[in-house]
Each structure stands twice: as structure tokens, then as C-alpha cells.
Amino acid sequence: MWVGHSSPTVFISCRITKLGCPIGEIPDVVSPTPPVTLGQRRSYPARLVFFRYTPRTLMLLFTPAAPNYMPVQDLAAATAWYVEKFGGRPHPTKFDDGRRGAELWLADEVYFVLGPRDIPTSDETPMLYTPNIAKARDYLLARCVEATKIQRDRQNTKFFEMRDLEGNLIEICQQP
């Protein structure tokens, strides 16, 4: 891609790790290289154009199997807990009956929907996938979340279970 009149923009993917997750891209603006004669040194002027930490990196360790409905009593406390433990952006929402809830969004995807306890839900356990089960567990333990030991199911998939502020069970499993 050309920026301005004569300088191309090259995007260099950068892996800055706190949890082993990429957290951004650093574009490096490089001028076209003039011809070089023998013994002459090349210089590649570069300047940092953009670098930004985003809360998305906290959730790159987790991806939802589907939007997970979490029944809660105290919506404000539960929303604060999920934001603290998983990151993301809470958005207020209303259910069909007019009651309030909250959606936890990250990377244009809903991870959790928090709402009243008396709304009927499926019997399926809320689930998040992770590419690294050990890092996911360590990440949650470091944030004072109680989690079971890593186990294997009948299909040899690694998983562990945790509970939220109000005792709702969440399963974290290795990505298939």
C-alpha cells in the first residue's frame, strides 16, 4: 500500500506477549531504497505510526462456543466481576419482557449475556474454548477465580471448570 507520494507502508505483525497473545500490529513506514554501490551502507528510516493495547487481548485466550447466558441476582456486581476476570466491553440490553441485562462483548462477539435468574435456559453448561488450557487456568487463578484441575474427557479433550461470582458453572476446554 502506498501512503502519500513515495513511501510504501509495510505492516509488521508483532507478538508482544504477556499471555502469549498478539496485541497489535506495528506499521513500519519505509522509504524506497535508492540504488546502493559497493561499500555503501543502507539505511531504512522507520517511524512508529500506530501501536495500541486493547482489552481484546485479554479475551484472545478465550473464545465462546456460543453466547453464554448467565443467570444472575445482582446484575451490577456480576457485570463488574466478568469485566474484571475476562475483560471486554459491557453493553446494557433489555429482554423481551422489559427486564434489563448486560452483554459482554469483545472482538465483535458476545461472550456472555447476563440476565435475571428466572428466565428459562438450556441445560447446557456455558463453555469457552482456549488454545492453551494451562495458560487459561493460570490466567484465571491469578485473578482469584477458583478452578478445578485440568482433566480429560472421553474424547481426550482437556478441560477444567470454574464458577462465577454467583456460583454459575463455566467449562473451559482446549480448542478442538
3-state secondary structure of 86: helix
Looking at the structure, tell me whether residues 74 and 11 fall in a common domain: no
100-106 and 89-94 strand pairing: antiparallel
* pLDDT for the residue 21: 33
pLDDT tens-digit profile of 22-54?
333 333 333 344 444 455 444 434 333 333 334
Do 66 and 97 have their domain in common?
yes
Are 142 and 103 part of one and the same domain?
A: yes
Q: How many domains does the chain have?
A: 2
Burial of residue 127 (CB within 10 Å: 0-12, 13-18, 19+) is middle
* pLDDT recorded at residue 47: 35
In terms of domains, do 122 and 137 share one? yes
79 with 42, same domain?
Answer: no
Structural domain boundaries, residue 22: 1-53
Q: Is the separation of the CB atoms in 100 and 92 below 8 Å?
A: yes
Is residue 63 located within the same domain as residue 12? Answer: no
Residues 10 and 44 in one domain: yes
> In angstroms, rounded to a whole number, what is the distance separating the alpha carbons of residues 87 and 168?
18
Q: In one letter, which amino acid is 130?
A: T
Is 14 within 8 Å of 25 (Cβ atoms)? yes
Strand-strand pairing, 127-130 and 109-116: unpaired
Q: Which domain CATH number covers 96?
A: 3.10.180.10
Judgement on whether residues 43 and 94 belong to the same structural domain of the protein:
no
The string of pLDDT tens digits covering residues 150-166 is 999 999 999 999 999 99
22 lies in the same domain as 75: no
Last residue of a domain, one of 16, 37, 53: 53
pLDDT in tens, 99-124: 999 999 987 889 999 999 988 777 88
Percent of the chain predicted with pLDDT > 90: 51
pLDDT of res. 65:
86
Average of pLDDT values for 47-64?
53
pLDDT for the residue 124: 87
pLDDT at 127: 94
Per-residue buried b or exposed e for 2-15, using 16+ beta carbons within 10 Å of the residue's own CB = eeeeeeeeeeeeee
Buried b (16+ CB within 10 A) or exposed e, 75-84: beebbebbbe
Q: Give first-to-last CA distance, the chain, whole Å.
A: 36
Residues 48 and 99 in one domain: no
pTM for the model stands at: 0.65
